[in-house]
A and B are shown apart, each in its own frame.
Chain A
Amino acid sequence: MSNVESLQQYKGLSVGDNLPELIQAVDQNMIDAYADASGDINPLHIDPEFAKTTFFGRTIAHGLLTLAFVSRVLSQWNWNGWAYGGELNVAFLGPVYPGDTVRVSGEIESIEHRDDGVYACCQLVCHCAEKAVVKGYAICKI
């Protein structure tokens, strides 16, 4: 049976600490470049005429482009813990439109000492203006 002990602090990190914030403007050029780089050419992202016929009424950014910004935050904060064993669990709550600015923020919600090391669980949220568009959490070894 595994043991888990909750900690308030570890190696200078504390529950409640903020992760570095990231602010990224998104425009259609960036969405097109991501479509080209990822091969995800769903017309909802790159074809304004098609996008007009959808629920959204215009093109939207790939959800996974927004997750790339989340990954940049976690890479900057704790590269090894994120790249080697990191976990991400998010829900997409709303679209990011060309012209939006995405703000990624995060906070250490808990620190756990498990059998194989100490892990931080970080709450994450991406906002466009006041609207949350992605919400979830990441778990990284620290």
Chain B
Amino acid sequence: MSDYVKYGSMKEGDNFLDPAPAFDVTEDVVDKYMASTNDNTPALKELNSDGKRIAPPMLAAVYVIDALRTRVGPPGGIHAKQQFKFHRPAVIGETLFTSAVVLKMYERKGRNYVEMTTETKNQQGELITSGMITRIWGKES
């Protein structure tokens, strides 16, 4: 039995992540992300008005993909399109929960595509990021 999600096992309207996985925004996660992307944005070195350090908006790429990775497709899949709306930056100490719904599935040029909407909220249910991701599903052996 394969240890990845098969394309044929999904259908439009499915909650892809149920329950929504948790992701802790830690100093270590933010520091490693900033170092790996060469991000030296001055605002990310300061504390916000609540005295908390904020994370780069594009950390969404980490916590959304981390959530989606709890149900992975076959190796070799790639990103085709990405939409994000950053309602506000996550802050260190928050726990984020990302849900995803399969919006559309289609085939183009012999490749299988999956579009999903995602929504990330913190532990209080406050919306942090919403988005849509289009992935080309990896080839199944």
A residues neighboring B (CB under 8 Å): 24, 30, 33-34, 36-40, 42-44, 50, 54, 60, 62-65, 67-72, 75-76, 79, 82-92
Contacts and interface: CB of A to CB of B under 8 A. Distances in A.
A64 B36 contact: no
A44 B58 contact: no
A63 B78 CA distance: 8
Interface string B19-50: 00000000001001101111101011000000
A68 B66 contact: no
B32 A36 contact: yes
Interface residues of B, number: 35
6 contacts: A42-B75, A50-B76, A64-B82, A84-B86, A88-B84, A90-B81
A63 B80 CA distance: 9
B88 interface: yes
A86 B58 CA distance: 11
B82 A76 contact: no
Contacts of A71: 39, 56-58
Nearest to A82: B57
Contacts of B37: 34, 37, 65, 68-69, 72
B82 A75 contact: no
Given A39-B66, A50-B75, A83-B89, A75 B57 contact: yes
A118 to B, nearest CB: 18
A50 B88 CA distance: 38
B23 to A, nearest CB: 10
B69 to A, nearest CB: 7
A32 B137 CA distance: 22
A91 B80 contact: yes
A37 B36 contact: yes
Nearest to B83: A89
A83 B43 contact: yes
Contact of A79 (B41, B61, B77, B78): B41
Nearest to B39: A72
A37 B54 CA distance: 17
B65 A68 contact: no
B11 interface: no
A34 B36 contact: yes
Nearest to A47: B75
Contact of B38 (A72, A88, A89): A72
B39 A68 contact: yes
A67 B86 CA distance: 14
B75 A44 contact: yes
Contacts of A72: 37-39, 41
